[in-house]
């Protein structure tokens, strides 16, 4: 099971995206766990779980450099595209996360 966790300010708006991503993964029988959390909990979440991809909500993209510096050597970190996020295009976001994980694995 691969873990794709989304982080934003309070984890509220990303919860809907994570839920929709999970629905897409389940529909296609993909072994993913998609969940959303507040970025304030990122350290404890990562200590408790091995993440395969960290997605940051576009409203908190200012956190990218810090999160990537802290965790980017262990897992891919990316900011969710604002258009995909605004449209709640969970399939597109999931595909981009899968591409990021494949690129990270090959590096």
Which residues are catalytic, by number? 8
> DSSP readout, 7-72?
EESSSSHHHHHHHHHHHHHHHTT--EEEEEEEGGGHHHHHHHS--SEEEE-GGGGGGHHHHHHHHT
């Amino acid at each position: 099971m691969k873990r794709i966790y989304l982080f934003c300010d309070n984890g509220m708006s990303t919860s809907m995206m994570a839920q929709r991503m999970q629905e897409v993964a389940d529909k296609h029988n993909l072994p993913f766990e998609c969940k959303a959390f507040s970025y304030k909990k990122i350290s404890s979440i990562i200590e408790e779980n091995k993440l395969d991809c960290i997605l940051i909500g576009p409203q908190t993209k200012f956190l990218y450099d810090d999160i990537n510096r802290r965790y980017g050597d262990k897992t891919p970190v990316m900011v969710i595209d604002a258009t995909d996020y605004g449209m709640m295009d969970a399939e597109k976001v999931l595909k981009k996360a899968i591409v990021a994980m494949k690129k990270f694995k090959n590096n």
